[in-house]
Amino acid sequence: MDAQGMCCDRISELPDSLLTHILSYLSTKDSVKTGVLSRRWELLWLKVSGLDLNTMDFLPYGGEALLSFMDRFLEFNRGWCQQTFKMKYCRCTETDSSIRLVEWIPELVHRRVQHLILENEGSPYSLDIMPDCIYVSKTLVTLKLVYVVLKDLKFAVSLPCLKNMHLENNYIYILYNDAPNLDALCLIDYVSSGGRLIMENLISGSPVLENVTLFFGLWQEEFSSSWTNVPQCLSSTLEYVKIGVNIMWNEAGIKLVNYFLENSVVLKKLTLSCKDSHTDKREAESYKKLLTSTKLSPRCQVLVD
């Protein structure tokens, strides 16, 4: 290659559509930094079909900087579909009043957002209540919510395109789920007056579920009765179950694990996880002896990690 070829700026020859696609793999903070490269790049980050924000990046400028940023981005992209919205935020910072999720989420749903990820890293006593529109989105594919409130509804949840749901440390009330394409469900330490019912509704409303992850404690009295309902996914699609070993500390948790073993026709792996637990792997291995059920799936392995 001659010297002229070596100096050629191949990236600048790419169309804006390809450049913005490349920028979509960066955090918004890093994407904005590319604006100093040239006049062409100055506004290119505004055309990216997603945001990946951490509100701590707006300090020490305060909430006004975040508001100005969001207003500018939404105005510039008015009428465009929004593919992804990720935000890590903290309700304990000076940006509290500027985190207007109740206003932004309806706008994002209206713009047909596909991947919505909200992670509150602040106080569990100052939580956002998710607006109704989030429960009936026709375009959501991924939904991850950490430390928010999912309120009781007067209507059924309907998320026809949802494939991945992750709910962590949330306050959940009665949640009726209709997610015909959901294949991965993760529930971690949720707070609810009807924990068993929440879990049953989410699993029962997901007929093609393949992967379930459960990390939470069970109250003995709540799970004392036998499970009789067998959701469709256990009969046909559920292949992987991961359960936090803490569940095994009482009889109710043992019943839960046995329930999956007894009723999952195509289950390939059930894992007892020691993650975030005071239980070591050797102790966790001993819990396997408490699983007295005959595995319905002959291929199923019971593992400890």
Confidence of residue 191 (pLDDT cuts 50, 70, 90): low
Q: Would you list the DSSP string of 167-224?
A: EES-EE-------TT--EEEEES-B-TTHHHHHHHHHHT-TT--EEEEE----TTTT-
C-alpha dist (Å) from residue 235 to 88, 243, 263: 37, 19, 7
Amino acid 125: pLDDT: 64
Q: What is the pLDDT of residues 197-212, one digit of tens each?
A: 778 888 988 999 999 9
C-alpha dist (Å) from residue 120 to 20, 137, 144, 148, 193: 28, 21, 11, 7, 22
State how far the Cα of 40 lies from the Cα of 14, in Å rounded to an integer.
12
Closest CA relative to residue 26, chosen from 67, 86, 70:
86
pLDDT(252) > 80: no
Choice between 292 and 114, residue whose per-residue pLDDT is larger: 114
Amino acid 222: pLDDT: 54
Residue 149 has phi, psi (to 5 degrees) of -115, 125
Residue 18 has phi, psi (to 5 degrees) of -75, -40
Choice between 107 and 196, residue whose per-residue pLDDT is larger: 107
Amino acid 238: pLDDT: 97
Q: What is the pLDDT of residues 74-107, one digit of tens each?
A: 888 887 888 999 999 876 654 455 578 888 999 9
Range in 141-145, 161-165, 181-185, 223-227 with the lowest mean pLDDT: 223-227
Amino acid 226: pLDDT: 58
State how far the Cα of 125 lies from the Cα of 191, in Å rounded to an integer.
12
Amino acid 89: pLDDT: 86
Mean pLDDT, the chain, as a whole number? 83
Choice between 177 and 118, residue whose per-residue pLDDT is larger: 118
Confidence of residue 220 (pLDDT cuts 50, 70, 90): very low
Amino acid 95: pLDDT: 47
Q: What is the pLDDT of residues 132-156, one digit of tens each?
A: 999 999 999 999 999 888 887 777 7
Helix (H) or strand (E) holding 240: strand 240-244
Percent of the chain with pLDDT over 90: 30
Amino acid 98: pLDDT: 53
Kindly list the domain boundaries of the chain, sorted by start residue: 10-48, 49-304
Confidence of residue 190 (pLDDT cuts 50, 70, 90): confident
Amino acid 229: pLDDT: 79
Cα angle value 164/168/172 (rounded, 5°) = 95
Helix (H) or strand (E) holding 284: helix 281-287
Amino acid 94: pLDDT: 44
CATH of 10-48, one of 1.10.10, 1.20.1280, 1.10.620, 3.10.50: 1.20.1280
